Amino acid sequence: MTSMVMVFAAGSFLSGLDPAWIAFLGAAFGGAGLKITEAWLGRNKVKIDDAQQIRDELRLEITSQREEIRALEIEVHKWREEYYALRDKYMTLQLELLKKVDSIKHEVQEAERVAEEINRVPPPTPPAEPLTGPDGA
């Protein structure tokens, strides 16, 4: 009801004005209404644009993190290969060392056994009487 009263009041006010002023006021209020409507509808578009921008940033971040993960996996593979190569070399050297230590132990045991045999054999005993030839000389 109030809006009807305003329309009649505006109609009676506008009826006494020049048609050019009426056109000007209609254009001004129409433009203002259009701008208000545009701002109201554009607010949703700004939200949509912000959401799209956030999604794009997240996609870029995910892509960069995937690339970093791939680089780290390559580095892990390289270090794993180097570790196993060094471990194999260490095992080989350790085996060689154990063989040489075992060889040295056997040499020492053999030397001790020979020394015991030498010590076990009694030294030659000198003859009880002097050696003389058949002539007794």
In order along its 137 residues, the chain shows pLDDT tens digits of 545 545 555 555 556 677 777 777 777 777 777 777 777 776 666 667 788 889 999 999 999 999 999 999 999 999 999 999 999 999 999 999 999 999 999 999 999 998 888 877 666 676 667 666 666 55
**For the chain, how big is the Rg over CA atoms in Å?**
57
Contact 3, 10 (CB under 8 A): no
Name residue, tokens 């045999």: 117
Q: Is the pTM of this model over 0.85?
A: no
Strands in 17-135 per DSSP E: none
- Distance in Å from the first CA to the final CA of the chain: 174
Q: How far apart are CA 75 and CA 68, in angstroms?
A: 10
The type of residue at 67 is E
Give me the phi and psi of 125, to 5 degrees please.
Answer: -90, 140
The token pair at 69 is 């993960």
The type of residue at 60 is L
* Selection from 55, 80, 77 nearest residue 69 by Cα: 77
